[in-house]
Structure 1
């Protein structure tokens, strides 16, 4: 490939290619701003009425569950095991280049004669919606040139892969014998044992797949700009015996949302594990993305995920269940009244 100043190391290939780190003036830093001030965190809790209504709805959703236990139960204890989910989103931009080619159709060529190619980070690209993955590709100005297609030797034609350039193929009816099982002449190939190749219409060649029959290629450097939302997530494990994978199904109540060019770690949350997770997340993302990509925006959130263990009595026996998430989903491992039924 041609040598282009500022794009040394760019090779031919699909996808990314050679990555270029952002120049020093685009590398992110905190700028010396103070961390968020101490604030009053309001931690709500679920009520008995809400817990009971959720249990009734849960029983109603199960075809084999009687609603009687949910409606007739007597509360023994209501224990709040609310947990917290911390998430840091770092929205980054990275740039890479690769040599690409396409069939040349006689259009104007934006070559080095038209100007000096701009550097990868000097090319202006409109930033899409924040915190959403996106990829854009564009030709780097003044890097185009016309070259002969090496695949077909500039002829625009390649031997047919079906008949291997012979123009004819073995007859599929008689398998090249010229006669059928009854020893009668094959009418499909007129006894010749072969027929004209339908793939190339008997020409023996087909249009070159690379240059589409043109014989020439337009080569250029393609810039790929990738915007990626990188997520760090941490969930406080309250060790209640509740299967924590179920938390992925539900949303939480947002207690804290902090969106800035660069965020500072949370330091004043009453749950120390969250403060530690925030500090680790900010440091990890700065190390991972601070010098290799351009950080455009960060957002950190803390969600309260409702988790309440309900202990109740029904017909003189004790049972329990969990209510979790904004949706008040229910997890009950030992529901007391189920029936065995078969759906036909």
Structure 2
């Protein structure tokens, strides 16, 4: 032990050190239907029971897709879109966009297939709050309902939402596991002594002072601790303890099971990669024309569409979503959509050289890998 340790004073043995941040295993009673929770802070998944009936895709539904006409853009629209694009690039001159000569505006057929699977997930876990005499909705009022029997108001379909509620009749009052019901815990900074050794003089109360150029030296009283060798602990303000950070001095905690219900729209898109000069990621930020929308509890793969790759992707995605979501989630609705995303390849000449750019999306965005002028001075 350090020679100055005894100068820091004794600590109060009645004040407990901090306990675990979460209740230890076995601290809380089991609640029927929620036995997987042992007091930890992490929520546990609650697998949905098998449905009263197994919904099946409706085989007699018309999943054939009508033929559509590829949209085209005029020269005025293409020029206007390019001018808007150039204005967003401070290094580009608008002169080429105003004076270019179009050679060809080539519309390209681009389909985007989208599958949406709207799911409901339920998880639960033990939570607690300081007990101040509030009502305790415990098992004396009845048995807690099963996790998937608790009614919840459904949000608008295909919109994400999270709601948290207390499971009825799951509450109980327990002694605080952090402070063992004391309401306060030992200050870990000063180990309950209320004071700490002065770091300026290392607890000696004085500091060595170097003298003049002749080499004389001596000691002087430490100005930081005023010669005491110790200072008041600023963490606990000299008390040696702190109010319990878990129960806030209430000594008891109200424990309850919190049910978390998550509605999520799981969306997956696919666009065939057939334009090597156009980056497909550009399609993510634009919209198309949804000429085919199929909505049901479970949708059936697309059939008879002219683009066979779309049919194949529809079947693959639907099967993957069923495998991914049926065990841990409850599927509430599915929707599959085919959009025609406008894409036009504009070829033009300027100053005797050939260039091109793409106009894409209903928004008429522009992608240009090359532009005639990168000069900021017109």
Task: Give the TM-score normalised by structure 1.
Answer: 0.89
* Partner residue in 2 for 1:210: 246
Deviation of residue 121 (structure 1)?
0.8
1:267 and 1:275 in contact (8 A); partners too: yes
- Out of 110, 116, 139, the position equivalent to 1:83 is 110
Question: Which whole-Å deviations, capped at 9, do the CAs of 1:262-290 have from their partners, x for residues lacking one?
Answer: 32333243322222222222222122212
2:117 and 2:334 in contact (8 A); partners too: yes
- For residues 181 and 305 of structure 1, the distance between their equivalents in structure 2, rounded to whole angstroms, comes to 81
1:97 and 1:223 in contact (8 A); partners too: yes
* Partner residue in 2 for 1:73: 100
Change (3 A) 1:55 1:3: closer
Deviation of residue 33 (structure 1)?
5.1
The answer to whether the aligner puts 1:152 opposite 2:179 as a matched pair is: yes
* Partner residue in 2 for 1:107: 134
SS in 1 for 2:82: helix
The answer to whether the aligner puts 1:240 opposite 2:267 as a matched pair is: no
The answer to whether the aligner puts 1:128 opposite 2:155 as a matched pair is: yes
* Partner residue in 1 for 2:347: 311
Q: Which moved more, 1:119-128 or 1:67-76?
A: 67-76
- For residues 225 and 53 of structure 2, the distance between their equivalents in structure 1, rounded to whole angstroms, comes to 70
Question: Which whole-Å deviations, capped at 9, do the CAs of 1:119-175 have from their partners, x for residues lacking one?
Answer: 111111122233232222222111222222232222121111221211112335545
SS in 1 for 2:281: helix
- For residues 271 and 342 of structure 2, the distance between their equivalents in structure 1, rounded to whole angstroms, comes to 13
Structure 2 unaligned regions, length at least 5: 1-27, 210-218
Change (3 A) 1:145 1:28: farther
Structure 1 unaligned regions, length at least 5: none
Counterparts of residues 280-299 of structure 1 (less than 5 Å): 280-299=316-335
- How many residue pairs get matched? 341
Task: Give the TM-score normalised by structure 2.
Answer: 0.82
1:178 and 1:192 in contact (8 A); partners too: yes
SS in 1 for 2:158: coil
Change (3 A) 1:11 1:27: farther
What is the root-mean-square deviation in Å for CA atoms of aligned residues? 2.4
